[in-house]
Amino acid sequence: MNRRTFSRTATATARAEQGIEERGTPVKEDALHIELGRRYLFAASHRLHSRQLSEEENYRVFGKCNNPYGHGHNYILEVSLSGKIDPATGMIANLADLDAFVTRHVLEEFDHHSLNEDVPAFSDKVPTTENLCIEIFHRLQNFPHAKLERVRIQETGNNSFEYAGKRRKTTRDQANRRDPAE
Amino acid sequence: MILLTRKIEFSASHLYHNPNLSAEENRRIFGKCNNPHGHGHNYTLEVTVAGEPHPVTGMVLDLKELKEILEREVMQRMDHRHLNYEVPELAGQIPTCENIARVIWQLLEPKIKQGKLHRVRLYESPDLFADCYRNGASRAGN
């Protein structure tokens, strides 16, 4: 039974709320923002190569990451979710649901595969870890039981990348935007 | 603004069980975390405080003082304890990573007088953690 189904069981939730919240410490739910973070590991190969650049330019820009047969990494994917803690389960999202979703939408297609050859999104996009973050964020943002806050990917122990979706426009962005009529 | 982080580790046992649900429902929702005699983890807690360095000491807050707060509020309450039975702040709540992080936030926030508590991150294992922030605060510096 997943969290969503569970939440809809009105009697169970009502009983749980009575039973649990009466005895628990009163918590100002809306004062705190809680996130759940989960790490996954996948091994994949890639080659950094842009069709828009010449052979020489590709080698100059990407260096040994441009070597023709590619190379691989053990990627660590960190997924962060936010939401209300269900008082009956103490959870933002059930890990079994999250694990199944990430496995189905990311790991099955990426783990022990070539990002360039096996993932259609990278047929015309360089599989840098920046682009990988964006691709994985889009694949996971429809997780039905909590809000996806961000994905963070560690390509090696020395570099990592994060993507949290398109940021909302600030007033400064608005002010800096040039009016096309000008 | 500077973010300062101190890390501590503690070991504790717990189990997930909601007495308002049937044995079958508990098993289905919580899986092996519902085993009746519980199990344990080495928890890693990272506490981040935000503030400006003091013009004289150059410190956001005295790390020794933060260490003492963590010892008193977290270690003495939770280290080598059973979270379901021995931590009154968690009574009646399922001791998930999310709930423990929230309780730790509530214990620490009033005790930190210099700087402001910015983030509580609690790792139950290297693969699973919960973050707690004050709502509306910037979540920069993750």
Maximum alpha-carbon separation in chain A: 69
Given this model, what pLDDT does residue B123 score? 98
Burial of A170 (0-12, 13-18, 19+ CB in 10 A): exposed
Active site residue A112: yes
User: What CATH number is given for A33-165 in this structure?
Assistant: 3.30.479.10
Burial of A151 (0-12, 13-18, 19+ CB in 10 A): buried
Judged against a pLDDT cut of 50, whether residue A82 lies above it is answered with yes
Give the percent of chain A with pLDDT over 70: 76
Give the contacts of A169 (CB within 8 A, at least 6 positions apart): none
Smallest CA–CA distance, residue B62 to chain A, in Å, is 25
Question: Can you tell me the ipTM of this complex?
Answer: 0.86
- Chain A contact set for B31 (CB, 8 A): 96
Give the percent of chain A with pLDDT over 90: 74
Picking from B94, B127, B142, the nearest residue to A38 by CB comes out as: B127
Given this model, what pLDDT does residue A20 score? 41
Q: Is the pTM here over 0.90, yes or no?
A: no
- What one-character DSSP code corresponds to residue B111? G
Q: Give residue-wise pLDDT tens across range A99-123.
A: 999 999 999 999 999 999 999 999 9
Given this model, what pLDDT does residue A19 score? 40
A25 and B93 in contact by Cβ < 8 A? yes
pLDDT along chain B (142 residues), means of 10: 95 97 96 95 97 92 95 97 97 97 98 96 97 82 48
Catalytic residue among A78, A130, A149, A155: A155
Judged against a pLDDT cut of 50, whether residue A142 lies above it is answered with yes
Active site residue A130: no
B132 and A95 in contact by Cβ < 8 A? no
Dist CA B120 CA B104 (whole Å):
8
User: What is the rounded average pLDDT for all residues in chain A?
Assistant: 83
Picking from A22, A38, A88, the nearest residue to B18 by CB comes out as: A88
Catalytic residue among A17, A55, A71, A112: A112
**Which residues, numbered 37 to 56 in chain A, qualify as contacts with chain B under a Cβ-Cβ cut-off of 8 Å?**
37-40
Smallest CA–CA distance, residue A79 to chain B, in Å, is 10
Given this model, what pLDDT does residue A64 score? 95
Q: Give residue-wise pLDDT tens across range A31-73.
A: 899 999 999 999 999 999 999 999 999 999 999 999 999 999 9
Which of A92-101, A140-149, A162-171 is predicted with the least confidence, judged by mean pLDDT?
A: A162-171
Given this model, what pLDDT does residue A179 score? 46
**Token code pair at residue A150:** 């961000």
Q: Give exposure, A97-135, as e/b (b: 16+ Cβ within 10 Å).
A: bbeebbeebbbebbeebbbbeebebbeebbbbbebbbbb
Active site residue A155: yes
Given this model, what pLDDT does residue B30 score? 96
- Chain B interface mutation, best of A29, A35, A94, highest count of B Cβ atoms under 10 Å: A35
- Positions of E strands within B1-142: 2-14, 39-51, 81-82, 116-125, 128-134
A89 and B139 in contact by Cβ < 8 A? no
Which of A2-11, A130-139, B50-59 is predicted with the least confidence, judged by mean pLDDT?
A: A2-11
